[in-house]
């Protein structure tokens, strides 16, 4: 429900004095129509005000204002939240999108990025120096939501999760205080920020460790869907002995209607095996051989630029469509899972829908599990059921398909424990199930300390 115009006026006046200098977009503002939109069109909400913050002081002012006024508060980074957490009806959206500066320290091999950056911003700055940290598979996702939930991407096996590369963070807590969290300062908060989502405050600045990523050997191979059994089994074998240099992803999706694809594949159901190899080109070519021997219908190797690979699938996920994702983790890629996946893909109500099957392990698995809030590092795979469609009248059919698909994967060993890939708010006893008892208890302690009144509750919420 929206606010009355009287309330809206009150909010406008109060924001002007409480958050001096910030751009406040109210419902009557000409930009409101577009500023209120988020990536997932299932969420068509009308906040009372969108506050575009340009610095940490304005973020702190906005937090204090929302708390005192008792208004709902959404934090918006890249706007890619699947459950639509970065918007609300009748409350405040604290929009970090003006805060997108990235500073690179090449000697220390670190980058400091403001909280509103996307991975496109981050990679553009760091790749100028041949450096990178783990970001998402696409470039438009915010560094904020992705890192705080864990963060998997093309460098997961080489460099760990996005949150594993976090060295420190400037955080505005629920009281409006600004703190620096790192291994040595506010260590419990720092622990919670790495996997616990946006529960504890607004991160205005992230400091990441950088790795040399000069040239990659990346790209993807494409196979027609009627070879799905054979390709899935071959992929299962392929990943068993892979060295850390190579991160891969198996994806079920329709091939784009694009001249670069063979005519018989265009618009048809297909399997994509994507990869990013940081080894030498000859070693990477050699590693790819078993998959090439299968005879892909299209071969888009090698791409040599990391940023090109990270943008390769952007066009398939534009803002403004409807989505319901349901992801999780699983130890093994069994025959039963392969059967279930193929059957669910066959009956999907929308040809835009699909599944991503990410191979984990490598550097990510070597981080001690208790050192961050991220729930599980032992699973070999993270999957994501991707419900994508356009028309609102088809919401239920598509959500229902994704839920049934995910339930089957859970029945066959999966667990819905990766918060970044869950379209449903995780409520009740579910957060405990996601994180496991001890981690959930520690997260609850951190929440009580930094946000006792649960101001930051539009997230996969840890209740204080
Ligand atoms: P927003 O909608 O801006 O924010 C979501 C929530 O994150 C906020 O409500 C808030 O709780 C929190 N948040 C964001 N920024 C901050 C901040 N600076 N301080 C405090 N809290 C903050 N995940 C992966 O791990 N790997 C992928 O490759 C990947 N690809 C994706 C591709 C697409 C197209 C989409 C839609 C999602 C993808 N995700 C991926 C999931 C993604 O990590 C989450 O949706 C994440 O929450 C998006 O972050 P955001 O900043 O863009 O979102």
- The reply to whether ligand 1 has any atom less than 6 angstroms from the CB of 142 is yes
In this prediction, residue 1 carries a pLDDT of 39
Separation in Å, CA 24 to CA 34, 50, 172 = 14, 6, 19
pLDDT, mean of residues 146-165: 98
Q: Which of 145, 357, 377, 461 to mutate to test the pocket of ligand 1 (most atoms within 8 A of CB)?
A: 145
* pLDDT above 90: residue 270: yes
- Show the tokens assigned to 398: 């598509």
Q: Who has greater pLDDT, 2 or 278? A: 278
Cα-to-centroid distance, 146 and ligand 1 (Å): 4
Note the residue count of the chain.
464
Exposed e or buried b per residue across 151-167, where buried means at least 16 C-beta atoms within 10 angstroms of its C-beta: bbbbbbbbbbbbbbbbb
pLDDT band at 272 (very low <50, low <70, confident <90, very high): very high
What distance in angstroms lies between residue 117's CA and the mean position of ligand 1's atoms? Answer: 11
Residues 425-453: pLDDT tens digits? 887 778 888 999 999 999 999 999 999 99
Instruction: Report the predicted TM-score, pTM, of the whole model to 2 decimal places.
Output: 0.97
Closest residue (by CA) to atom 35 of ligand 1? 80
CA of 198 to the centre of ligand 1 (A): 9
Predicted confidence band of residue 24 (pLDDT cuts 50, 70, 90): very high
114 touches ligand 1 (CB under 6 Å) = no
Is there a contact between 82 and 40 (Cβ–Cβ < 8 Å)?
yes
Mean of pLDDT values over 220-242:
97
Span from the CA of 199 to the centroid of ligand 1 (angstroms): 13
Which residue of 37, 52, 79, 141 sits with most ligand 1 atoms within 8 Å of its CB, as the best mutation to test the pocket? Answer: 141
CA-angle at 341, arms to 238 and 395, nearest 5°: 135
- The span from the CA of 84 to the CA of 425, in Å, is 9
Tokens 């998997």: give the residue: 152
Whole-angstrom distance, CA of residue 315 vs CA of residue 333: 29
**Per-residue model confidence (pLDDT) at position 4:** 46
Distance CA 181, CA 148 (A): 13
Q: Is the CB of 251 under 6 A from ligand 1?
A: no
* pLDDT at residue 149 is higher than 90: yes
pLDDT at 9: 73
Of the pLDDT bands very low, low, confident and very high (cuts 50, 70, 90), residue 13 is: confident
224 in contact with ligand 1, CB cutoff 6 A: no
- pLDDT, residue 417, reads 85
Ligand 1 site, residue 457, Cβ cutoff 6 A: no
Region of residue 180 (left: phi > 0; alpha: psi -120 to 50; beta: else): beta
pLDDT at 2: 44
Residue 193 structure tokens: 């920020």
Q: Is 19 in the pocket of ligand 1 (CB under 6 A)?
A: no
Q: What is the pLDDT of residues 364-393, one digit of tens each?
A: 999 999 999 999 999 999 999 999 999 999
Beginning with the edge strand found earlier in the chain, give each strand of the sheet holding 354-359 in spatial order. Answer: 298-299, 217-224, 269-277, 246-254, 354-359, 381-389, 322-330
Atom of ligand 1 nearest to the CA of 206: 18
pLDDT tens digits along 86-136: 999 999 999 999 999 999 999 999 999 999 999 999 999 999 999 999 999
Ligand 1 centroid distance, CA of 322 (Å): 16
426 alpha carbon – ligand 1 mean position (Å): 15
Q: Is the dihedral of CA 222, 224, 230, 232 positive or negative?
A: positive
Band of residue 8 on the pLDDT scale cut at 50, 70, 90 = low
Pocket test for ligand 1, best of 41, 79, 81 (most atoms within 8 A of CB): 81
List the one residue out of 217, 338, 225, 323 whose CA is nearest residue 272: 225
Paired tokens of 171: 């955080």
What is the three-state SS of the chain? CCCCHHHHHHHHHHHHHHCCCCEEECCCCCCHHHHCCCCECCCCCCCCEEEECCCHHHHHHHHHHHHHHCCCEEEECCCCCCCCCCCCCCCEEEECCCCCCEEEECCCCEEEEECCCEHHHHHHHHHCCCEECCCCCCCCCEHHHHHHHCCCCCCHHHHCCHHHHEEEEEEECCCCCEEEEECCCCHHHHHHHCCCCCCCCEEEEEEEECEECCCCEEEEEEEEHHHHHHHHHHHHHHHHCCCCCEEEEEEEEECCCCCCCCCCCCCCEEEEEEEEECCCHHHHHHHHHHHHCCCCCEECCCECCHHHHHHCCHHHCCCCEEEEEEEEEECCCCHHHHHHHHHHHHCCCCCCCEEEEEECCCHHHHCCHHHCCCCCCCCCEEEEEEEEECCHHHHHHHHHHHHHHHHHHHHCCCECCCHHHECCCCCCCHHHHHHCHHHHHHHHHHHHHHCCCCCCCCCCCCCC
pLDDT of residue 16: 86
Q: How many angstroms is it from 290 CA to the middle of ligand 1? A: 35
- CA 228 / ligand 1 centre spacing (Å): 31
Which of 83, 142, 402 to mutate for ligand 1's pocket (most ligand atoms within 8 Å of CB)?
142
Burial group, residue 14, by CB count within 10 angstroms (0-12, 13-18, 19+): middle
Cβ–ligand 1 contact at 202 (below 6 Å): yes
Section 52-79 average pLDDT: 97
Distance, CA of 97 to CA of 60 (rounded, Å): 16
């Amino acid at each position: 429900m929206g606010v009355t115009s009287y309330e809206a006026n009150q909010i406008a006046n109060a924001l002007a004095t409480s958050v001096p200098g910030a751009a406040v977009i109210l419902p009557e503002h000409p930009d409101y129509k577009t500023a209120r939109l988020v990536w997932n069109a299932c969420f068509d909400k009308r906040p009372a005000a969108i506050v575009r913050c340009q610095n940490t002081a304005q973020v702190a002012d906005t937090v204090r204002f929302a708390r005192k006024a008792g208004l709902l508060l959404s934090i918006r980074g890249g706007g890619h939240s699947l459950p639509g957490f970065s918007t609300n009806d009748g409350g405040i959206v604290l929009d970090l999108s003006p805060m997108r500066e990235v500073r690179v320290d090449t000697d220390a091999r670190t980058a400091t990025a403001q909280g509103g950056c996307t991975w496109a911003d981050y990679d553009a700055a760091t790749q100028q120096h041949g450096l990178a940290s783990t970001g998402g598979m696409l470039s438009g996702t915010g560094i904020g939501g992705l890192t705080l939930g864990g963060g998997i991407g093309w460098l997961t096996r080489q460099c760990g999760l996005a949150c594993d590369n976090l060295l420190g963070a400037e955080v505005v807590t629920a009281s409006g205080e600004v703190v620096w969290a790192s291994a040595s300062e506010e260590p419990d908060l720092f622990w919670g920020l790495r996997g616990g989502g946006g529960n504890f405050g607004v991160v205005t600045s992230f400091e990441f460790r950088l790795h040399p990523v000069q040239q990659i050997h990346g790209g993807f191979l494409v196979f027609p869907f009627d070879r799905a059994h054979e390709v899935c089994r071959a992929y299962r074998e392929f990943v068993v002995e892979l060295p850390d240099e190579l991160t891969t992803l198996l994806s079920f999706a329709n091939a784009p209607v694009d001249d670069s694809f063979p005519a018989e594949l265009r618009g048809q159901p297909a399997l994509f095996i994507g990869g990013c190899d940081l080894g030498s080109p000859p070693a990477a070519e050699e590693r790819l051989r078993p998959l090439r021997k299968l005879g892909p219908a299209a071969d888009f190797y090698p791409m040599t630029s990391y940023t090109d690979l990270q943008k390769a699938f952007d066009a398939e996920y534009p803002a403004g469509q409807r989505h319901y994702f349901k992801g999780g983790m699983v130890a093994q890629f069994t025959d039963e899972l392969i059967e279930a996946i193929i059957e669910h893909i066959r009956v999907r109500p929308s040809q835009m829908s699909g599944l991503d099957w990410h191979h984990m392990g490598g550097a990510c698995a070597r981080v001690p599990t208790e050192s961050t809030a991220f729930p599980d590092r032992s699973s070999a795979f993270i999957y994501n059921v991707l419900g994508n469609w356009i028309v609102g009248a088809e919401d239920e059919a598509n959500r229902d398909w994704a839920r049934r698909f995910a339930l089957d994967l859970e029945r066959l060993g999966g667990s819905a424990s990766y918060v970044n890939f869950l379209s449903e708010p995780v409520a009740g006893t579910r957060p405990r199930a996601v994180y496991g008892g001890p981690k959930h208890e520690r997260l609850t302690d951190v929440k009580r300390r930094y946000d006792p009144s649960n101001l930051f509750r539009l997230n996969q919420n840890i209740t204080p």
